[in-house]
Amino acid sequence: MKKNIVALAVASAIAAPVAMADAPTVYGQINMAAEQYSVKDAAGDKDKTNSGSQVNSRASRIGIKGATDLGNGLKAVYKAEFEVQIDGSSTLKNRNQYVGLAGGFGTVLMGRHDTPFKMIQSKDLFNDAKLSDNKPMAGGLGVAGAGGEVRTSNVLAYVSPSFGGVKLMGAFVPKETGGDNTKESSFTDTVSLAAMYGSKKKGLYVAAAYNTWDKATQAGGNAGSVDELRVTAQYAIAGLIANVMYQDFSGKGIKDTNEKGTNIQANVGYKIGNFMPKVKVSQVDRDKANGQKFKDSTNYALGLDYSLGKKTTAYVEYAYLDKVETADGNVAAGANDKSEASAFSIGLLHKF
């Protein structure tokens, strides 16, 4: 699950407690699920390669983070987080990693991190699942089909202090290599800006973000810059959590591709004792390309969480993706085809 916006924002360590100074914290989670997949390929036939029984790690991770008091209200902050391939032969995969300075002015950092666009998302009750995470639920829209869920290297980022409950964030990412080689690398090659109010933990939370990807960053050649918009709102109180997120990936630079369109996602969950029933629905509306209208789709997920302890949760989930997504989260060949995927999962999440 995503933590609150301060903990996972581009400069999460701005709120690091004094007790953390000079003492690194080791943290992480292991999330494993036994799953049964049913996948149809572009022809509408059973895809036996991706269908069947699987045991999957859902972005299990380990990291260290901390802050060092430099005096005069200034701190050095850092984090190094890795995905751990619990179910595979490979070892570590880079997640959020940075070093920076924090003070009354806010926080400035450099490294690898989620964009502010990604970070403002409301609480995802199906986070890290292969079919029901925000990325596959967005139906392959957006740059690289990521649905706005982008973690990028070479980040220079800033997060402001709170102004009456409002925080501002900005990230600037030079392309450095790849993309359009006719243009020099610049801090404005990718810009992600966001503003948020409130907390994801309790009460009202609202946020908006904007991404712009310069043509120089687009390997394979989108015709121009790509603009993305995300607006989200959430209300959480007394066990209830409900949110909605609107996304627009119809920027002028996205042409002749099924990555262009809009998406609305909603999560609702209600905690009853140790149980939390939850539901997620996503409507994907695709724009026209080459005179052909790619099919729209409605994706959904149902689940039930059971708290075994403060840090351990068991869950049962069912997810269904219509028309474009496959079991591995990739876009099928042709959004107008009959491809679809569903999964039934039983899992266990333990945090430490």
Q: Partners of 264 in the beta sheet?
A: 246, 283
Reported as a pLDDT band with limits 50, 70 and 90, residue 163 is very high
Lowest average pLDDT, out of 83-92, 134-143, 221-230, goes to 221-230
Lowest average pLDDT, out of 9-23, 77-91, 180-194, goes to 9-23
Residue 139: strand, helix, or coil = coil
Higher pLDDT, residue 310 or 46 = 310
Reported as a pLDDT band with limits 50, 70 and 90, residue 314 is very high
Number of other residues whose CB lies within 10 A of the CB of residue 292 = 12
Q: Partners of 229 in the beta sheet?
A: 210, 248
d(C-alpha 138, C-alpha 117), whole Å: 14
Structural domains of the chain sorted by starting position, each given as residue range(s) with its CATH number in brackets: 26-59+100-351 (2.40.160.10)
- The answer, yes or no, to whether residue 157 has pLDDT greater than 70, is yes
CA-wise closest residue to 114 among 70, 65, 150, 69 = 150
- The answer, yes or no, to whether residue 90 has pLDDT greater than 80, is no
Question: The tokens of 116 are what?
Answer: 């502010």
pLDDT of residue 352: 96
pLDDT digit string, tens, across residues 184-228: 888 888 999 999 999 999 999 999 999 998 865 654 445 567 889
Percentage of residues in the chain having pLDDT higher than 90? 63
Q: Which residues touch 256 (CB under 8 Å, ≥6 apart)?
A: 289, 290
CA-wise closest residue to 123 among 28, 61, 205 = 205
pLDDT of residue 180: 64
d(C-alpha 171, C-alpha 9), whole Å: 11
Task: Locate all alpha helices (DSSP H) within the chain, ordered by sequence.
Answer: 5-8, 116-119, 134-137
pLDDT digit string, tens, across residues 104-136: 999 999 999 999 999 999 999 999 999 999 999
pLDDT of residue 39: 85
Higher pLDDT, residue 42 or 243 = 243
